[in-house]
Chains A and B, each alone.
Chain A
Amino acid sequence: MTHSIWIYILVMILSTNLIRVIPLILIRGQIRNRFIKSFLYYVPYVTLAVMTFPAIMEATNSPIAGGIALILGIVAAWMGLSLFPVSVLCCVTVLILEFFLI
């Protein structure tokens, strides 16, 4: 490893907080550009979706357990469960399924 983990962390801290602060320093009015507004609207969901699948199936010992956790998580979130319960449901699903699958 040729790069320092501390510098990675420092770069991450600076970039992440910069992006939080820049609009508050620069932008006085609302963004008017329709394309940029639309683009920014989709970005969070697309990023998280790309990061979640297929990674959730690779994070677990059994890919099938990860896949079923994904499906149950989607159903639970669709039915209105919030962040914490959905998270717990996914964990419990994997815990139980891997007991049988492995």
Chain B
Amino acid sequence: MSKEYAFKNGIRDGIPIGLGYFAVAFSLGFMAKKCGLSPLQGFIGSFFTRASAGEYGVYTMVVQDAGYLAVVAMSLVTNLRYLLMSTALSQKFLPETPLFIRILTGCCVTDEIFGISIAYPGYLNPAYTFGAFSISTPLWALGTTCGIIAGSVLPGSIVSALSVALYGMFIAIIIPPSKKDKAVGIAVAVSFLLSYVVRRPEISGTINLSSGAVTIILTILISAAAACIKPHTGAENNDETEN
């Protein structure tokens, strides 16, 4: 398959992804606005990061005036899945693929771009990934900027409603694997429960941790416990591709 053809196919498959991104990024923009980001900061941050949960986590830390190392920790933990995705992707390249092409493709990884790239028949043609990236990324960044601008203009009821779009997306990512693998479902349920308990005022008041730190600690503890109790033995590549 020629590069041009693969690139065009990538754009075709990237359009629905980009439209979803725009809506979700819009709500991320509200959040970013509340955290004090300017439209330009939102655009640059979203364009080069492209990680909904990661960006969300970091922006909440901006409000808390957290240290830069905490931001590194937050970025690493919320995006740990990309480590696994890129590892899976490394098996998908033609052996002679140059390193810089591998690196560029790696930078394109999001849940959705990884999903369609790993599903590409045979060896991945990186032009396909770049095509999907080229249409979806500007929409993600633009959505964030529009959200930041609109955050102060739209009526409160609309802002409140759009604030849950991001959580809706998170739900859509975690529920299908929970249905497929009971261990994931239990881990998710335990996460909901512990997150609720730890964030109760009477408890969060005594442990005195930021919300981002609670996320990091709970993620490591619950994931490690799940890995000990129910080690994952499924197929290598196909478990992270939902949505």
Contacts and interface: CB of A to CB of B under 8 A. Distances in A.
Q: Do A and B bind each other?
A: yes
Interface of A: 1-3, 5-9, 11-13, 15-17, 19-25, 27-28, 30-31, 34-35, 37-56, 59-62, 65-66, 69-70, 73-74, 76-78, 80-84, 86-95, 98-99, 102
B170 A23 contact: no
A50 B157 contact: no
A99 B79 CA distance: 36
B174 A49 contact: yes
B116 interface: no
B61 to A, nearest CB: 7
Interface stretch (B1-9, B134-142, B145-153, B161-169): B161-169
Contact of A42 (B48, B77, B156, B184): B184
Interface of B: 16, 19-20, 23-24, 36-38, 41, 44-45, 48-51, 53-58, 61-62, 65-68, 71-72, 75-87, 89-91, 99, 102-103, 105-107, 109, 111-112, 156-158, 160-179, 183-184, 187-188, 191-192, 194-196, 199, 214-215, 218-219, 222-224, 226-228, 230-234, 236, 239-240, 243
Contacts of A3: 62, 65-68
Question: Taking chain B's interface residues, is the majority helix, strand, or loop, or is none over half, making it mixed?
Answer: helix
A66 B41 CA distance: 28
Contacts of B111: 44
A27 B107 contact: no
8 A-B pairs closest in CB distance = A90-B168, A77-B175, A49-B191, A38-B227, A15-B75, A87-B168, A44-B81, A95-B161
A27 B176 CA distance: 29
A74 B157 contact: no
